[in-house]
Amino acid sequence: MGARLALGGLISAVALLAAPVALAAPSCLDRQGGTVRCGTAGAMPVGWTLPPDRARARLAAMDDEVGAGRLIGLACVIGGLFALLALLPDFDGGWDRQEDDRERRG
């Protein structure tokens, strides 16, 4: 039994290591620092980056504040997940019997 399990693990590991690697196409930036598909109008060459002073200004202009709308949305999503969990049936162990299974009486 142990040899079968080890052989199964070895075969699985070899199959995962031999799988082809999926490579993504490179992404390019536009002149404002936004990510665009390479080859489109306004795309800079692959590897081009914003100058450091413009990159800092772009990061400073981004809004990283969490608003009330986002907090309310997060609370609704988490509350919905808890509601779905509360609606699950009780798993007391008696649910795994089939209809045609009969209890032994002794």
pLDDT tens digits, 12-33: 888 888 878 777 778 899 988 8
State the amino acid at position 55 in one-letter form. A
Model confidence pLDDT, tens digit, residues 50-79 = 899 998 988 888 877 888 999 999 999 999
Give the integer Cα–Cα distance in Å for 2 and 8: 10
Question: Is there a domain that residue 37 lies in?
Answer: yes
pTM of the model: 0.41
Question: Is there a domain that residue 35 lies in?
Answer: yes
Question: Is there a domain that residue 99 lies in?
Answer: no
For residue 54, give its domain range. Answer: 25-61
Question: Is there a domain that residue 50 lies in?
Answer: yes
Question: Is there a domain that residue 100 lies in?
Answer: no
Domain total in the chain: 1
Structure tokens at 53: 């002073």
Region for residue 33 given its phi and psi (left: phi exceeds 0; alpha: psi -120 to 50; beta: otherwise)? left
